[in-house]
């Protein structure tokens, strides 16, 4: 295992300290319990939007903390849920009196710990809503999940709900919006290589020199099928086709499209994927109105990508376009 780390036990903590040094204008890092929070939190009268999950998916979630997106994010150990005390402390730090929305990816540990955190926060008098993201069409029930896994739609939900909270929408409104985004978002991924969790020291799984895993999970959970490598266009047809058929997206639908790198795939390849995705959407009459191409929800150094399509209406596009100023998304 070759990594730019000082030791498996220090990865998350030292990375957080680096983030704190890099973005002191936007974020503050709290240690013990660990969370990343907007420098200007709490904002009186504003709904606090928090999220969290295992580390190793950067920039998600810490890179999305800042005006217009998340108020706080709780990083667990690599590929491990954060703990309820982190989440409850983050909720406390961002509570401006209008309640807190927890955006939770559908993994058993995250679900359980955010539920406990919600109870802790309610006991402190904070109104809490939780919305679960379960947008991965690849499989139902997985290594760490009952139902579908939560993946790329999380990024889009955090942006859109962050914008709604920023402009003063109520907790009920922001939670309802988050459920709408989850209902309209679908994703699927592919891995060309595995990744190595620092504390484990060897790859999570192995793929042969000509193999790929279609429908991979962001922790390396098995997908739909292991098959021989194919040209990029065929891979995009496989995964984007599954995404399009699932909602199903229909001719005339407008979407935000995300081509997300898993961490180890060069940008030059992600644009090849985006090109084919755009052609497929054209062929299906689906209109891509906004897009993201890059590394947003990664799996350490895994090579591969995922595709997310989110159906949008005027309101979602309007919220998407609102200003955002986080380490990883800014406009």
Which positions touch its own copies (CB under 8 A)? 2-7, 10-12, 14-19, 21-22, 55-56, 58-59, 63, 78, 192-193, 209-210, 212, 229, 231-233, 235, 263-276, 278, 288, 291, 293, 295, 298, 300-301, 303-305, 330-331
Q: Which of 104, 83, 87 is nearest to 154 (CA)?
A: 104
- When the beta carbons of 41 and 300 are compared against its own copies, the nearer one is 300
Q: Is the dihedral of CA 265, 267, 271, 274 positive or negative?
A: positive
Q: State in angstroms the smallest separation of the CB of 330 from its own copies.
A: 6
Residue 191, strand partner residues: 213, 304
Q: 322: burial class by Cβ within 10 Å (0-12, 13-18, 19+)?
A: middle
Q: State in angstroms the smallest separation of the CB of 4 from its own copies.
A: 4
- 61 as an active site residue: the answer is no
- When the beta carbons of 19 and 100 are compared against its own copies, the nearer one is 19
Q: 230: burial class by Cβ within 10 Å (0-12, 13-18, 19+)?
A: middle
Contact (Cβ atoms closer than 8 angstroms) between residue 282 and residue 252 = no
- When the beta carbons of 147 and 294 are compared against its own copies, the nearer one is 294
- When the beta carbons of 58 and 166 are compared against its own copies, the nearer one is 58
Q: Is the dihedral of CA 88, 90, 93, 94 positive or negative?
A: negative
- When the beta carbons of 106 and 193 are compared against its own copies, the nearer one is 193
Q: State in angstroms the smallest separation of the CB of 291 from its own copies.
A: 5
Q: State in angstroms the smallest separation of the CB of 210 from its own copies.
A: 7
Tokens for 322, please give them.
Answer: 């609102």
Q: State in angstroms the smallest separation of the CB of 254 from its own copies.
A: 15
Q: At what angle do helices 314-321 and 153-166 cross, to 10 degrees?
A: 80
Residues 6 or more apart in contact with residue 247 via CB below 8 angstroms: 184, 186, 309, 311
The catalytic position among 43, 186, 219, 276 is 219
- When the beta carbons of 247 and 293 are compared against its own copies, the nearer one is 293
φ, ψ for residue 103, nearest 5 deg: -100, 115
The catalytic position among 46, 57, 105, 276 is 57
Q: State in angstroms the smallest separation of the CB of 223 from its own copies.
A: 16
> Hey, is 185 helix, strand or coil?
strand
How far, in Å, CA of 235 to CA of 229, rounded?
A: 8
Residues carrying an active site annotation:
57, 219
């Amino acid at each position: 295992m070759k990594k730019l780390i000082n030791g498996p036990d220090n990865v998350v903590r030292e990375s957080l300290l680096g983030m704190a040094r890099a973005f002191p204008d936007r974020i503050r890092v709290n240690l013990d319990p660990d969370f990343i929070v907007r420098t200007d939190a709490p904002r009186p009268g504003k709904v606090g939007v928090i999220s969290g999950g295992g580390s190793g998916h950067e920039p998600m979630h810490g890179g999305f903390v800042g005006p217009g997106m998340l108020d706080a994010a709780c990083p667990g150990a690599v590929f491990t849920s954060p703990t309820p005390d982190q989440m409850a402390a983050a909720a406390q730090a961002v509570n401006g009196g209008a309640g807190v929305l927890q955006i939770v990816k559908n993994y058993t540990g995250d679900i359980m710990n955010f539920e406990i955190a919600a109870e802790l926060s309610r006991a402190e008098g904070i109104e809490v809503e939780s919305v679960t993201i379960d947008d991965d069409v690849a499989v139902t029930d997985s290594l760490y999940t009952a139902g579908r896994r939560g993946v790329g739609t999380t990024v889009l939900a955090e942006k859109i709900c962050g914008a709604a909270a920023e402009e003063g929408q109520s907790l009920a409104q922001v939670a309802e919006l988050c459920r709408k985004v989850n209902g309209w978002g679908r994703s699927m991924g592919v891995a060309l290589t595995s990744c190595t969790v620092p504390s484990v020291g060897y790859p999570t799984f192995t793929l042969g020199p000509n193999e790929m895993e279609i429908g991979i999970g962001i922790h390396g959970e098995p997908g739909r099928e292991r098959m021989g490598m194919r040209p990029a266009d065929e891979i995009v047809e496989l995964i984007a086709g599954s995404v399009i058929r699932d909602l199903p997206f229909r001719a005339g639908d407008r979407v935000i499209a995300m081509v997300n790198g898993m961490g180890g795939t060069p940008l030059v390849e992600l644009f090849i994927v985006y090109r084919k995705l755009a052609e497929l959407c054209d062929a299906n009459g689906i209109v891509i109105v906004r897009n993201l191409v890059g590394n947003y929800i990664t799996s350490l150094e895994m090579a591969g990508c995922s595709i997310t399509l989110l159906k949008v209406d005027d309101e979602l596009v309007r919220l998407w376009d609102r200003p955002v100023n986080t380490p990883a998304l800014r406009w």
